[in-house]
Amino acid sequence: MEAFEYARPTSKEEAVKLLAGTWGETEVLAGGTDLLSLMKDYASNPKRLVSLSGIAALKGISSQPDGDLRIGATATLQELIASPIVAKQYPALVEAAHGVRSPQIQSLGTVGGDLLQRPRCWYYRGGHGLLAQHDGKSLVPDGENQYHAILGNSGPAYFVNPSSFAPILIALGAKVRVHGPSGAREVELSKFFRTPSSESEREYDLKPNEILTEILVPAPGGAKMAVYEVREKEALDWPLAAAAVVLNTSGKTVKSARVVMGHVAPIPWPSPEAEAALAGKTISESVADEAGKAAVAKATPLSKNAYKVQLARVATKRAILAAAGGA
Amino acid sequence: MSRKKDKLARPPGRGSVSRRDFLRGAGVAVSGGLIAGETTKARAAAGATTPILGPGKVPITLRINGKPQTLELEPRVTLLDALRNHLDLTGAKNVCDRGTCGACTVILDGDPVYACNVLAIEAQGRNIQTIESLTVGGKLHPVSAAFVEHDAQQCGFCTPGFVMAVKAFLDHHPNPTMESVEKGLGGNLCRCGTYVGIRKAALQAAKSVKGGLHNA
């Protein structure tokens, strides 16, 4: 990797002052599990790293007086797994953390870092830029696109959002709090991710000199929830398709549902179609299957990833069944 | 600011000099005039009071296997490169260098981590345990002994990382099952495919540790 300056502030205000106003000049270091690899591949070459490890205000997981769960941006996956509050109220968050199969990543990786990790697209990691363009044209549609998007892929971005937590956090109605030069702001996580239209944009709603400080998750109020990932191997890897489901039920009947797929589009992909297929129904194998079918009805696979349509359908179906069967 | 590529990340092939000696020399050569033997002074950014360190060498103190060690390193040096290239602790292996294979696993404040994923400068103030600490007075740690007994290695390159991953796992899960061992070692790869022996070794080591053979 390139040489860089390093600073370890102890407050979010200081961290923001140390960040440049232009993407690429500076980067924020949390767990480092993604950033250092990007830097070793020269896909990211910041002149300064601003470490968050010295900022106590960004750590920890706790219940708020209003019933929300507050997850500090630098709380690790291991802390999330070990949290009694999370285990009791948000079992699907624990399940999502277990999906990251490596204890070594769970020790270091942070929840904020999971949300802000950059795409796994091998063109991006190989130095072709976030949009993988060569002479103004994306390499993906005619290239090795077996792991790329099947939804929201009309261009210019074809990568998939790699986050393990974003789908379930969006399904739970989470917000993120961001700190910048003019103070704090909150964003609904469902509106936080976006498909970039040029190389100068990022895939999330942060300015170069803003940091994500915490994630706020509403009390689940008895909702049933689950995540399901389809993966090539059981050891550390990113899923091929994933789904998160939150069901609000009255007796056995679904009053309302949230269904969000992961690893299928440049952003976590909510499916109002699947949600509509569940509303008012009693969950059964066939109802779940219909919802899975609805979730991928609008998929537009690329030349080598049509298989992912079936995987996303099955992930959605199984997440629905797991949620209905779970506590 | 030095913008030269870190050649340490891409080691050359075998030669008549030892690879580490060669790397030490190469490291100085590519560092250039700016930072050869020179420690850069800390300074602050406009409006901020936090000191800014690097990009040249800065003093870094690491607590490794219970002993503090002070080095002069650039902020970009990973814990893995600090251990291997600057402290001659070569038990942790550099294989993928991208936080995937587990060959560089060390234990940081009781938890397993990929040493390639941690900057040395970020590991300051934390307890770093490497595989070198497991053998005391020539006596193998129960985990290492179980690996020998179950033939849990073939080429052996992944073994130190696996041993540390097993140790950290057993520290947190003293009563493992085969299923929990499989999951708990999900962060390490063995391309020879010795997983069956490794899992058996982990289960046996759990019994040995409980039987009082623990020495670290």
Look at residue B78 in the predicted model and tell me its pLDDT.
Answer: 98
Look at residue B47 in the predicted model and tell me its pLDDT.
Answer: 85
Nearest C-alpha neighbor of B86 from the set B10, B174, B23, B160: B23
Whether chain B has a CB inside 8 Å of the CB on A102: the answer is yes
| Interacting residues of B112 by C-beta distance below 8 A, sequence separation 6+ | A103, A104, A107, B105, B106, B164, B165, B168, B169, B187
Do A212 and A228 lie in one domain? The reply is no
Do A206 and A293 lie in one domain? The reply is no
Between A307 and B24, name the one with better pLDDT: A307
DSSP string, B95-152: SSSSSSS-TTEEEETTEEEEGGGSBGGGGTTSEEE-GGGT-BTTBPPHHHHHHHHTT-
Look at residue B45 in the predicted model and tell me its pLDDT.
Answer: 75
| Interacting residues of B191 by C-beta distance below 8 A, sequence separation 6+ | B155, B158
Report cis status (omega within 30 of 0) of the bond before A196: no
Do A170 and A106 lie in one domain? The reply is yes
Nearest C-alpha neighbor of A49 from the set B58, B27, B31: B58
Say if domain B142-210 classifies as CATH 1.10.150.120. Answer: yes
Look at residue B108 in the predicted model and tell me its pLDDT.
Answer: 98
d(CA A242, CA A318): 10
pLDDT at position B24 over 90: no
Nearest C-alpha neighbor of B167 from the set A255, A294, A271, A104: A104
**φ, ψ for residue A92 (rounded to 5)?**
-70, -25
d(CA B168, CA B107): 7
Do A179 and A286 lie in one domain? The reply is no
Look at residue A275 in the predicted model and tell me its pLDDT.
Answer: 98
Do A96 and A80 lie in one domain? The reply is yes
Domain boundary among A217, A232, A257: A217
Domain boundary among A217, A238, A257: A217
pLDDT in tens, A101-123: 999 999 999 999 999 999 999 99
* Confidence class for position A320, pLDDT limits 50, 70, 90: very high
pLDDT in tens, A142-196: 999 999 999 999 999 999 999 999 999 999 999 999 999 999 999 999 999 999 9
A6 domain-assigned:
no
The mean per-residue pLDDT over the stretch B188-206 comes to: 96
Is A202 within 8 Å of A23 (Cβ atoms)? yes
pLDDT at position A299 over 70: yes
pLDDT in tens, A206-237: 999 999 999 999 999 999 999 999 999 888 89
Look at residue A327 in the predicted model and tell me its pLDDT.
Answer: 42
Look at residue B119 in the predicted model and tell me its pLDDT.
Answer: 98
Size of interface A-B (CB pairs under 8 A): 135
A23 domain-assigned:
no
CA distance B131 to chain A (A): 16
Mean of all residue pLDDT scores within chain B = 85
Whether chain B has a CB inside 8 Å of the CB on A78: the answer is yes
Residue-number span of the structural domain to which A103 is assigned: 57-116+161-217
pLDDT at position B176 over 60: yes
Is A139 within 8 Å of A133 (Cβ atoms)? yes
Of A4, A33, A98, the CB nearest to B117: A33
Look at residue B212 in the predicted model and tell me its pLDDT.
Answer: 61
Q: Which of A104, A120, A122 is most worth mutating to test chain B (most B CB atoms within 10 A of its CB)?
A: A104
Do A247 and A287 lie in one domain? The reply is yes
The answer to whether B52 contacts A7, with C-beta atoms less than 8 Å apart, is yes
The answer to whether B187 contacts A3, with C-beta atoms less than 8 Å apart, is no
Look at residue B214 in the predicted model and tell me its pLDDT.
Answer: 52
Whole-prediction pTM: 0.91
Q: How would you list the strands of the sheet with A241-250, edge to edge?
A: A224-230, A241-250, A253-262, A269-270
Is A70 within 8 Å of A175 (Cβ atoms)? no
Residues of A in contact with B97 (CB under 8 A): 40
Of B2, B3, B184, the CB nearest to A103: B184
Whether chain B has a CB inside 8 Å of the CB on A120: the answer is no
Do A186 and A300 lie in one domain? The reply is no
Which chain A residue is nearest to residue B111, measuring alpha carbons?
A107
Query: Which residue carries 């299923």 as its tokens?
Result: B179
* Confidence class for position B209, pLDDT limits 50, 70, 90: confident
Mean of all residue pLDDT scores within chain A = 97
pLDDT at position A59 over 50: yes
Do A239 and A95 lie in one domain? The reply is no
| Interacting residues of B21 by C-beta distance below 8 A, sequence separation 6+ | none
Do A165 and A269 lie in one domain? The reply is no
| N- to C-terminal Cα separation, chain B | 43
Which whole-number Å values give the CA distances from A253 to A219, A246, B83, B184, in the listed order? Answer: 21, 13, 58, 38
Of A49, A78, A104, the CB nearest to B114: A104
Which chain B residue is nearest to residue A102, measuring alpha carbons?
B187
Query: Which residue carries 């998939």 as its tokens?
Result: A160
Do A90 and A196 lie in one domain? The reply is yes
Work out the angle between the directed axes of helices B159-172 and B195-208 (0-180°, nearest 10).
40
Which chain A residue is nearest to residue B101, measuring alpha carbons?
A236
pLDDT at position B19 over 70: no
* Confidence class for position B4, pLDDT limits 50, 70, 90: very low
pLDDT in tens, A41-56: 999 999 999 999 999 9
Assess: ipTM above 0.90: yes
Q: Which of B119, B158, B163, B178 is most worth mutating to test chain A (most A CB atoms within 10 A of its CB)?
A: B119
Residues of A in contact with B102 (CB under 8 A): 102, 104
A249 domain-assigned:
yes
What's the CATH number where A206 sits? Answer: 3.30.465.10
For chain A, the domain total comes to 2
Domain boundary among A217, A249, A264: A217
Residues of B in contact with A108 (CB under 8 A): 113-114, 117-118
pLDDT at position B23 over 70: no
Task: Give A220-224's long-range contacts (Cβ < 8 A, gap of 24+).
Answer: A220/A89, A220/A90, A220/A172, A220/A246, A221/A248, A222/A248, A223/A172, A223/A247, A223/A248, A223/A249, A224/A249, A224/A323, A224/A324, A224/A326, A224/A327
Between A28 and B35, name the one with better pLDDT: A28
d(CA B130, CA B132): 5
Between B142 and B20, name the one with better pLDDT: B142
Using a pLDDT cut of 70, give the percent of chain A over it: 99
CA distance B205 to chain A (A): 19
Do A291 and A173 lie in one domain? The reply is no
User: What six digits make up the tokens of A85?
Assistant: 């509050």
Residues of B66-97 as b/e, b for ≥16 C-beta within 10 angstroms? eeebeeebbbbbbbbbbbbbbbebbbbbbbeb
